[in-house]
Amino acid sequence: MATQKTEILFGFHSVYEALRAEKRQFEVVLISSKRSSGRTDKVIGLAEKKGVKIQYTDPRELDKLTEFAPHQGVVARASFFPTKKASNILPILRTRETPYFILIIESIEDPHNLGALIRTALCADVDYIMIPKDRSCPPSSTVSRSSAGAMEHADIFMITNTSSLLRNLKEYGAWVSGLDADGATGLYESDLTGNIALVIGGEHKGIRPGVKKECDFVVSIPISGKINSLNASVAGGIAMYEAKRQRIALTLKGK
């Protein structure tokens, strides 16, 4: 069983990307004794290269360790994912010479949504990812698997007080944009260039009123048809890629 200082990572992508990222300390990598996938050999080869202990284990033991989650015959016991304090971001922003893009994931409770948002953020050139310490899903092993291991490469900052953080970010030159179904401005009419902090609301209640009050503007995604809402991770993905599109277009225009 995992100790208080370790957690169980499972699935090829989570374990492989965690080994690549080198953010965690590995106690052991557990491989199913009935492995049949060539991808498993990639994990074994990388673990050997990193000097991580490898142990071949009965798949039934892996089922117990992961509480019967789909582990694909690859499990690891490793330190918890390292996060940073939100206050640590302010000195970083002070010294930046290029516009930054911050994603603030507000009160997302489903680890699959959180994993999808983190994966999209890394693909959409988000510089920093921020998550509240309370009332939100933490960056767990399930989130890592849901992100296909992308979480292992992310810089994640944990927020104590989101409203206070947004005020600080604005003092450092950020424009804070909230994404909400009731937003007054359409996403495609908004300016998401420059120093931007994009706030994605939770699955059930969206952005909390106190947090929404601190947003400089709140945008909405135009929706047509018989369904009037989007999954939180899908909506976040659309907004992040619109921001990326605008930022690329501005760069090309400058050339």
DSSP string, 175-205: EEEEE-TT-SEEGGGS---SSEEEEEPBTTT
Specify the pLDDT at position 181: 86
Average pLDDT, the chain: 93
CA angle 103, 157, 124 (to 5 degrees): 30
SS3 per-residue string spanning 62-107: HHHHCCCCCCCCEEEEEECCCCEEHHHHHHHHHHCCCCCEEEEECC
Alpha carbon 144 to its chain's center: 8
Specify the pLDDT at position 20: 98
Judging by beta carbons within 10 Å of its beta carbon (0-12, 13-18, 19+), is residue 189 exposed, middle or buried? exposed
Q: How confident is the model at residue 4 (pLDDT cuts 50, 70, 90)?
A: low
Model confidence pLDDT, tens digit, residues 185-202: 999 999 999 999 999 998
C-alpha separations of 188 from 47, 149, 153, 185, 222 in Å:
45, 31, 30, 8, 9
Question: Model's pTM, two decimal places?
Answer: 0.92
Specify the pLDDT at position 1: 39
Domain boundaries, the chain: 6-79, 84-254
* CATH class, 6-79 region: alpha beta
Candidates 3.40.1280.10, 2.10.260.10, 3.40.50.300, 3.40.1190.20; CATH matching 84-254: 3.40.1280.10
Model confidence pLDDT, tens digit, residues 195-238: 999 999 988 788 999 999 999 999 999 998 787 789 999 999 99
